[in-house]
């Protein structure tokens, strides 16, 4: 493992581990993401755009996971209950970064940065991912949001015309 | 050519060379972490600009290096950092990373410098010239020292993708193509 992943994995905090395990649950994580978007974004059109970006990012990241098939760090560390699915890239981090980017022009953006970095940290703490998996999630999120933004603009522009 | 565009492309090439030096002398892990945190901090600065704050660094880049009609201040730099991060996080082979950075940093920069003065427009994209695409291909061949003959198809694919008229920024699309190419071969 790299230095950043090693450092995060070596953090010995019961509370952080409990929160990490809670966010590791897919249902809990999706509910948190949905709640954040619904609470912090009041416009329905923008909400729809964010959910479209989340869906597309999920699709891209899942395809890359299947194609690359990288073993999770927890598998090489012999940690019990380590998932057999591919490690690269981190789906949790990808979705958290998509939400972060969606609020780039908002006053609350810094909170979403902290949220995305915290989610990334929880993945490293559990050794579910290495820093490389987290780092790859950021460009996937940015590119996906850019694609959705371009498509969204052309769609709404056509409707206006 | 506008002075700002020359400055922009020279800066583009300089950043590519710096990224290459970090990769060769310190390592890909450092370059990946550096581009990751640069992007996170850069986007925070962009957010402050959105909120009306005058950030000296952002203003400097906006004045000297940014194109007009961009989605937000710092767009070009954000796309470039995203491209470097994509290359360093997706590719595991250091030589493939180096070749991809040469294509993105040097090839793309040189193509704009030469292409702006070109006279033969491409039939499928009148905004780009044949000279520019040729300059892209030739300057990208510097990557030969890292990946050998593999640089020829990689540079060709990247030059073609850079010449297309797409709604996605070159600094994002070119790394997607080179990364996909080196992952497949």
For chain B, domain boundaries? 3-184
CB B58 within 8 A of CB B77: no
Which of A139, A140, A147, A148 is the best substitution to test chain B (most B C-beta atoms within 10 A)? A139
Residues whose CB falls within 8 Å of the CB of residue B146, separated by 6 or more in sequence, listed in order: B95, B96, B98, B99, B102
pLDDT band at B108 (very low <50, low <70, confident <90, very high): confident
pLDDT band at B169 (very low <50, low <70, confident <90, very high): confident
Which residues in chain A touch residue B40, judged by CB atoms under 8 angstroms apart? 113, 117, 138
Neighbours of B94 (CB within 10 A): 15
C-alpha to C-alpha distance for A44 and B166, rounded to whole angstroms: 29
Give yes or no for residue B11 having a pLDDT over 70. Answer: yes
ipTM of the complex: 0.92
C-alpha to C-alpha distance for B28 and A121, rounded to whole angstroms: 21
The percentage of chain B sitting over the pLDDT mark of 90, rounded to a whole number, equals 62
C-alpha to C-alpha distance for B170 and B136, rounded to whole angstroms: 12
pLDDT score of B35: 95
pLDDT score of B1: 55
Neighbours of A117 (CB within 10 A): 16
pLDDT score of A59: 97
Looking up tokens 């410098």, which residue turns up? Answer: B113
Name which residue leads in pLDDT, B6 or B92.
B92
C-alpha to C-alpha distance for A109 and B140, rounded to whole angstroms: 38
CB A62 within 8 A of CB A91: yes
Which of A111, A134, A135 is the best substitution to test chain B (most B C-beta atoms within 10 A)? A135
Any alpha helices (H) in A41-130, and if so which ranges? 44-68, 73-76, 91-102, 109-125
**Mean pLDDT, chain A, as a whole number?**
93
Buried b (16+ CB within 10 A) or exposed e, B148-175: eebbeebbbbbbebbbeeeeebbbbbbb
pLDDT score of B99: 96
With an 8 Å Cβ cutoff, the interface of chain A facing chain B consists of 2-4, 89, 101, 104-107, 109-110, 113, 117, 131-132, 134-136, 138-139, 142-143, 146-147, 149-150, 154
pLDDT band at B58 (very low <50, low <70, confident <90, very high): confident
Which residues in chain A touch residue B47, judged by CB atoms under 8 angstroms apart? 104-106, 109-110
pLDDT score of A160: 63
pLDDT score of B81: 93
pLDDT band at B39 (very low <50, low <70, confident <90, very high): very high
Note the pLDDT tens digit of each residue in A63-99.
Answer: 999 999 899 999 988 888 899 899 999 999 999 999 9
C-alpha to C-alpha distance for A129 and A1, rounded to whole angstroms: 10
User: Is the bond preceding residue B14 a cis peptide, omega within 30 degrees?
Assistant: no
Average the pLDDT over A24-53 and give the result: 95
Query: Burial, A114: exposed, middle or buried (Cβ in 10 Å; 0-12, 13-18, 19+)?
Result: exposed
Average the pLDDT over A11-18 and give the result: 92
């Amino acid at each position: 493992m790299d230095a950043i992943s090693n450092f995060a994995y070596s953090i010995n905090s019961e509370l952080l581990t409990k929160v990490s395990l809670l966010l590791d649950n897919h249902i809990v994580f999706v509910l948190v993401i949905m709640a954040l978007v619904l609470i912090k974004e009041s416009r329905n059109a923008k909400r729809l755009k964010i959910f479209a970006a989340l869906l597309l990012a999920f699709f891209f990241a899942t395809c890359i996971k299947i194609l690359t098939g990288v073993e999770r760090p927890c598998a090489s560390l012999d940690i019990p209950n380590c998932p057999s699915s591919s490690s690269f890239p981190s789906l949790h981090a990808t979705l958290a970064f998509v939400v972060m980017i969606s609020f780039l022009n908002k006053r609350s953006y810094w909170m979403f940065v902290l949220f995305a970095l915290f989610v990334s940290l929880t993945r490293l703490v559990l050794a579910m991912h290495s820093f490389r998996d987290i780092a790859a999630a950021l460009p996937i999120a940015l590119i996906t949001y850019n694609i959705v933004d371009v498509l969204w603009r052309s769609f709404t522009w056509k409707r206006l015309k | 050519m506008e002075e700002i565009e020359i400055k922009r492309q020279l800066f583009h090439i300089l950043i590519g060379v710096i990224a290459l030096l970090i990769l060769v002398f310190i390592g890909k892990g450092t370059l990946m972490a550096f581009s990751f945190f640069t992007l996170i901090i850069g986007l925070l600065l962009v957010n402050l600009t959105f909120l009306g704050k005058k950030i000296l660094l952002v203003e400097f880049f906006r004045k000297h290096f940014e194109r007009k009609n961009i989605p937000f201040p710092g767009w070009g730099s954000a796309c470039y950092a995203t491209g470097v991060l994509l290359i360093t996080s997706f590719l595991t082979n250091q030589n493939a990373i180096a070749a991809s950075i040469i294509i993105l940093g040097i090839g793309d920069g040189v193509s704009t410098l030469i292409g702006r003065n070109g006279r033969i427009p491409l039939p499928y994209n009148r905004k780009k010239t044949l000279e520019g695409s040729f300059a892209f291909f030739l300057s990208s061949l510097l990557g030969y020292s890292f990946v050998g003959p593999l640089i020829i198809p990689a540079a060709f694919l990247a030059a073609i993708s850079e010449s297309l008229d797409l709604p996605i920024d070159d600094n994002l699309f070119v790394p997607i193509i080179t990364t996909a190419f080196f992952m497949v071969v």
